[in-house]
Structure 1
Amino acid sequence: MSVVVSTAWLAERMQHYPDQTVVVDTRFQLQDEDAGRKAYLEGHIPQAVYLDLNKDLSAKAAKHGGSHPLPDMEAFAAKIGHIGIDHDTTVVVYGQGNDMFAARLWWLLDYAGHGDVHLLNGGFDEWLKEGRPVTTAIPALNAKTFEPVIRENAAVGIEDVQLKLAHQSAALIDSRARERYLGQTEPMYRRAGHIPGAKNFVWTDVLDDEGYWKNTDELAEHFASLNQDEEIIVSCGSGVSACPNVLALRSAGFTNVKLYPGSFSDWISYDANEVETKDE
């Protein structure tokens, strides 16, 4: 079963297995942190619950750790259980379109050991485009217990990144827009450029010209310059837009893929760390 599913698949799943399915709306805007919740309240897929990038899918930013650190996983697990998810629940996550925020929740649940999490291809836009039902009703929650089984080898910290780059024992990719990778512009952080040694694979390139997820053959071609036998560390600005690349790499057959949750925002929080602006 593919991680990425269609609106038709979700509609059928909700019709036949409503008690075994939880739909999560993750719409968000970095420039307006209340926009996603407002959009949810104005209309969402029936029975969908809302989770917020800043409040639910991240911890509060500190001096180190990046601008969207991973949440406390025990607290995250309790929150996930509260909205009706356990290890027997099928979870379908959507954003506005195929955005990075839905992939962030996919990654967190996968990191916590959940094996049945899917992304809605085209997100809420596709649901609307097909004329499917939308509601403003807030669903009643059926709380369950979610026991996390953390996949420790799915994430790396700054010490691992520094060590592996020094020994050239892993490939590092940067998922941000090319102009940010090259340091030509930086709208969010005090330093511009990228972690030395990182190669640029812009996360939106895992989508086709119409904004839908590329198939496995297309993704394999996209990442053909990378060695499947090598460890791949995926970064971005703060560990959010890296998540679509993690999913895409795994879909393309890469098995040793790890997220650097702190990413560039964590890297530059240490003044001694160098920053590069040339293409690599």
Structure 2
Amino acid sequence: MKNLVSAKWLKENNNNNDMVVVDCRFDLQNPSYGKNSYLEGHIPHAVYMDMDKDLAGEVKEHGGRHPLPDLNVFKSKLESCGIGNDTTVVAYDDGEVAGASRFWWMLKYIGHDKVYILDGGIRAWIKESYSLSSDISKKEKQFLDVNINESIIATVDEVKENIAKDTSVIIDSRSFERYKGEVEPIDKKAGHIPSAQNYFWMDVLENDKVKNNKKLKDHFNQVLKYKNVIVHCGSGITGCVNFLALDEIGIKPKLYLGSWSDWISYDENEVRIGE
């Protein structure tokens, strides 16, 4: 698995000076959960990144519920956490991969490829009986170049252009009920983008870890035939889990970052209900 590391590997490498571990735990319904969990106990030497404060920016009319933060501010925060051009970064969350994969995708987007995710998250670490720490790690500031990788992000216009293309597929990572428009607990409109296919993000997980490549290929078997793959979710977080899983099996998708919450911010955009 090219984007994932085990708890054993992290334990063996956690004291390396050229590595930074990032705690990305979050709960959309409880904004203080991540920081409080970090303060109560985290993987030793880990720093904390807040989903709303660090990994997302100001919500505007368009752009969705979790737009990108100011990248200059994000770059500065990364540098202050000890992340530089040569730093190996390992992100983790509770094991559902959503917070870690959002951070992982953002580092890929700014051109930092030496970033990985702890498979199984902090639960896998605890399961191995490895210790936790409540110490706040202080890192020496580093310098990080930003080289935006436009090949992994899709705009709303690009989504529109690919709706009717036989060579393209739009993947909706939300639950089947939300995709069909039967329920919508967060956004103002229910339904899905025309032609989008539903691949619930949690279906790439098994026993609190990412499925092996054979099972991922079976899961995404119908996606393999498409030239262009665009992934989205509600606001650009859980879609990153499907993005990660697709990348694991050699498919190079794009993330529609604004996702459903951006799509419905345009009155003219069509909404479909049902399968």
Same fold (TM over 0.5): yes
Out of 92-101 and 47-56, give the one that drifted further. Answer: 92-101
Deviations 1:54-90 (A, max 9, x none): 1000111111000000122222112111111112111
Q: Secondary structure in 1 aligned to 2:163?
A: helix
Are the aligned partners of 2:168 and 2:226 in contact in 1 as well (CA < 8 Å)? no
CA distance in 1, matches of 2:209, 2:164: 37
Q: Is the 8 A contact 1:65 1:262 kept in 2?
A: yes
CA distance in 1, matches of 2:90, 2:101: 11
- Secondary structure of the residue that 1:244 maps to in structure 2? helix
Aligned residues, how many? 275
Distance, in Å, in 2 between the alignment partners of 1:69 and 1:169 is 28
Q: Is 2:197 the partner of 1:199? A: yes
Residue 269 of structure 1 deviates from its aligned partner by 0.4
Measure the CA separation in 2 of the matches of 1:158 and 1:167.
15
Q: Structure 2 residue aligned with 1:235, among 232, 238, 244?
A: 232
Q: Aligned partners of 2:79, 2:222: CA distance in 1, in Å?
A: 40
Compared with structure 1, are the counterparts of its residues 167 and 3 closer, same or farther at alpha carbon in structure 2 (3 Å cutoff)? closer
Deviation at 1:168, TM superposition (A): 4.6
Secondary structure of residue in 1 paired with 2:209: coil
Give deviations 1:188-235, integer Å, cap 9, x for gaps: 011101111100000111111x12111111111110011345110000
Whether the aligned pair in 2 keeps the contact of 1:174 and 1:236 (CA below 8 Å) is yes
Q: Given residue 220 of structure 1, which amino acid in structure 2 is its aligned partner?
A: K
**Deviations, residues 131-160 of structure 1 (Å, cap 9, x unaligned):** 111111001121101111110111011111
Q: CA RMSD in A?
A: 1.2
Matches within 5 A, 1:6-85: 6-15=6-15, 17=16, 19-85=17-83
- 5+ residue gaps, structure 2, are none
- The answer to whether the 8 A contact 1:194-1:277 is kept is yes
C-alpha distance in 2, partners of 1:174/1:206? 13
Which aligned pairs between 1:82-97 and structure 2 lie closer than 5 A? 82-97=80-95
Q: Distance in 2 between matches of 1:232 and 1:242?
A: 12
Partner of 1:103: 101
Instruction: List, as ranges, runs of 4+ consecutive aligned residues in structure 1 with deviation greater than 6 Å.
Output: none
Identity %: 44
SS in 1 for 2:271: coil
SS at match of 2:222: coil
Asked if 2 retains the 8 angstrom alpha-carbon contact of 1:111 and 1:150, the reply is yes
Q: Work out which of the residue numbers 261, 265, 270 in structure 1 matches 2:266.
A: 270
Aligned to 1:244, which of 241, 245, 262? 241
Identify the match of residue 213 of structure 1 among 210, 213, 228: 210
